[in-house]
Amino acid sequence: MAYWPQKPPLPETPEQLRARIPGWGVDLDPRDRPAVPQEVFDPEGYGAHWEFPERQPERYGPRERSIEHAFLTPVFGTSAPLHGVSGRIRRFAYDRFSEGRNEHWLLLIAADRVDTFENLLAAAVRGRPDDPVTETGVRAELTHHGVRSRRGRVDVRHQWLDPLVVAGPWAAAGAGIAAGAVAVLRRATRTR
Amino acid sequence: MRAMVYRGPYRIRVEDKDLPRIEHPNDAIVRVTLAAICGSDLHLYHGLMPDTRVGTTFGHEFIGVVESVGSSVRSLKPGDRVMVPFNISCGSCFYCARGMLANCHNVNPNATAVGGIYGYSHTTGGYDGGQAEYVRVPFADVGPTLVPDWMHDEDAVLLTDATATGYFGAQLGDVREGDVVVVFGAGPVGLVAARSAWLLGAGRVIVVDHLDYRLEKAREFAQAETVNFAEHDDVVVHLKRITDHLGADVAIDCVGAEADGSFLQHVAGAKLKLQGGSPIALNWAIDAVRKGATISVMGAYGPVPNAVKFGDAMNKGLTLRMNQCPVKRQWPRLFEHVRNGHLRPRDLVTHRIPLEDVAEGYHLFSSKLDGCIKPLIVPTAA
């Protein structure tokens, strides 16, 4: 116990542990462990044959970057370039706020939700609309023991919230659009 | 090519996408032969990670065959079988030149606090991932390594993140001979961390989770004692009791942003996104260890602030250690451990899912159905 100087005895001795667990203690020496010490200066040792990498061309328009960077990194991902309203929000978040500001992250999260909505509309227009049944993979509930797997689990207490988390923003957006449409109609009716 | 594509929180589908192209002279294009879904992919899937864009392909655990290489690639050629660390690293920046390959400063324009990761939102650089038939692999001379002939494909794919991260978690815990180690989370990373703690000389290893099937795996795979926190009114008190009221010498958080155990914290952090995840496991770790202990954090959290009990951590004189795992620096030792049987990552695989069924794969992993611990994704062109 913590009230006396000696550490409490362990249930098994090192010999017993070595006999029970294959490999017990093979990496006992803290100095002989991978990536120890954390920093080993060896600029040629990690595969690079350059001091500064060649720059990747910006083929998809000006690439957004954190204002904490001195310049655009020489290599970057090219997935899903900025577009639409979500792209404008993201560009603003990157151009205006550093990573240290909550505004930066909250704007990016807001843009994610706008992006989802934009793509929902775009997919419908392109003739490949989103299908919440197949895209949520909910079929696995039938094929992989959805009910039996959840029996007695504590996370069931909040899993019922998942559909609300998914559907909530859509319901709110729908209600907003409906309220806006009603207001416009009322105004048009009054004008007549 | 066929690729998994994010459509919004909890929604993904498989689409035809353009083949990735060589964007930089040190790029390679890899045909993916096996990929995995990582627990941290679920944070993206649930819409927790800022700047996760519709159209992005997830997947940072994959192996494959080199299809083509850029003009400056020296160490790989088409036809090579490679395993690719989840980190993208230039090999030459301030951090890479010192071996901090998980913290590269030359590959992620979107953030300075985190390096580049395949298929893990624009917050980690905006790279498409490996849950697809083909993937672009930047800095082919730095990251990928040939898969040894003797290595099983499922061991290889699990070495690209989960196994390396689990071992790294135990290593950052600075486990010394006879230490009592508590691992929070019995997912793949937690299970490997528990098994690795023995290799580092732990005297007791205790795994905490609430899923009985995963705790059973912890007893079998990691030969650990287990605690189901749902069976205890206060798991911190229980952990104190079973460690002679001293507390553990080391705790390893292998849960991260979507921890269970407190309805309010889970809903505030993981569902409503009012903080960068729910740090329940981390706070339990802070309370359950002894004074002067070390806590290793392998769980992933979001970039917005979290309600972490730093006051207790300070008062107890704790050392908190954390980082993304520099996978490639772990590999030589881990290859030895896999070869001589001290680690068998493929024992964690529970499901092998065709790429076309990836939406069901995410749902069953996210909802922990059917005893799921580690699902692999098998691309159509594999």
Residues of B in contact with A139 (CB under 8 A): 360, 363
Domain ranges of chain A: 61-73+81-144
Write out pLDDT tens, residues B248-263. 999 999 998 888 877 7
Contact B360 A137 (CB under 8 A): yes
Pick the residue of B18, B88, B122 with the most A CBs within 10 A to test the interface with A by mutation.
Answer: B122
Beta bridge pairs of residue B15:
B3
- Cα–Cα separations (whole angstroms), residue B284 to B40, B41, B231, B290: 20, 24, 15, 12
B64 closest CA partner among B42, B45, B81, B89: B81
Token duo for residue B253: 């958080």
pTM of the model as a whole: 0.94
Write out pLDDT tens, residues B195-238. 999 999 999 999 999 999 999 999 999 999 999 999 999 999 99
Mean pLDDT across B295-318: 94
| pLDDT (0 to 100) of residue B299 | 92
Domain B2-161+326-378 of CATH type 3.90.180.10? yes
Average the pLDDT over each of A131-140, A156-165, B37-46, B354-363 and give the range with the smallest value. Answer: A156-165
Q: Which of B11, B108, B334 sits opposite A130 (nearest CB)?
A: B11
Q: Which of B109, B128, B245 sits opposite A2 (nearest CB)?
A: B245
Pick the residue of A12, A92, A112 with the most B CBs within 10 A to test the interface with B by mutation.
Answer: A112
Nearest-angstrom CA–CA distance, A32 and A5: 30
Contact B10 A102 (CB under 8 A): no
What does the buried/exposed string (b/e) look like for B38-48 if buried means 16 or more CB atoms within 10 Å of the residue's CB?
A: bbbbbbbbbbb
Pick the residue of A32, A63, A75 with the most B CBs within 10 A to test the interface with B by mutation.
Answer: A75
Q: Does the structure show a pLDDT above 80 at B33?
A: yes
| pLDDT (0 to 100) of residue B100 | 97
Mean pLDDT across B102-119: 98
B199 closest CA partner among B231, B225, B222: B222
Nearest-angstrom CA–CA distance, B206 and B183: 6
Contact A35 B128 (CB under 8 A): no
Average the pLDDT over each of A176-190, B123-137, B161-175, B181-195 and give the range with the smallest value. Answer: A176-190
Contact B110 A79 (CB under 8 A): no
Please give the order of strands across the beta sheet that includes B289-297. B225-228, B204-209, B180-184, B248-253, B289-297, B319-322
Whether residue A37 is preceded by a cis peptide bond, meaning omega within 30 degrees of 0, is yes
Residue partners of B308: CB distance under 8 A and separation at least 6:
B279, B282, B283, B286
First to last CA, chain A: 85
Write out pLDDT tens, residues B140-196. 999 999 999 999 999 999 999 999 999 999 999 999 999 999 999 999 999 999 999
Contact B210 A154 (CB under 8 A): yes
Q: Which of B142, B271, B362 sits opposite A46 (nearest CB)?
A: B142
Q: Does the structure show a pLDDT above 90 at A190?
A: no
Nearest-angstrom CA–CA distance, B39 and B188: 8
Contact B74 A49 (CB under 8 A): yes
Q: Does the structure show a pLDDT above 80 at A168?
A: no
Contact A47 B116 (CB under 8 A): no
- Which CATH number applies to B166-322? 3.40.50.720
Residues of B in contact with A65 (CB under 8 A): 109-110
Global ipTM = 0.94
Average confidence score pLDDT of chain A: 92
Contact A106 B100 (CB under 8 A): no
Distance from CA of B136 to the nearest CA of A (A): 9
Are B275 and B232 a contacting pair, CB within 8 Å? no
Pick the residue of A63, A73, A88, A120 with the most B CBs within 10 A to test the interface with B by mutation.
Answer: A73
Nearest-angstrom CA–CA distance, B105 and B101: 9
Q: pLDDT band for position A192 (50/70/90)?
A: low
Domain ranges of chain B: 2-161+326-378, 166-322
Rg (CA), chain A: 28
Are B309 and B287 a contacting pair, CB within 8 Å? yes
| pLDDT (0 to 100) of residue B169 | 98
Number of other residues whose CB lies within 10 A of the CB of residue B144: 26
Q: Which of A94, A99, A136 sits opposite B363 (nearest CB)?
A: A136
Beta bridge pairs of residue B321:
B296
Residues of B in contact with A78 (CB under 8 A): 23, 126-128, 136
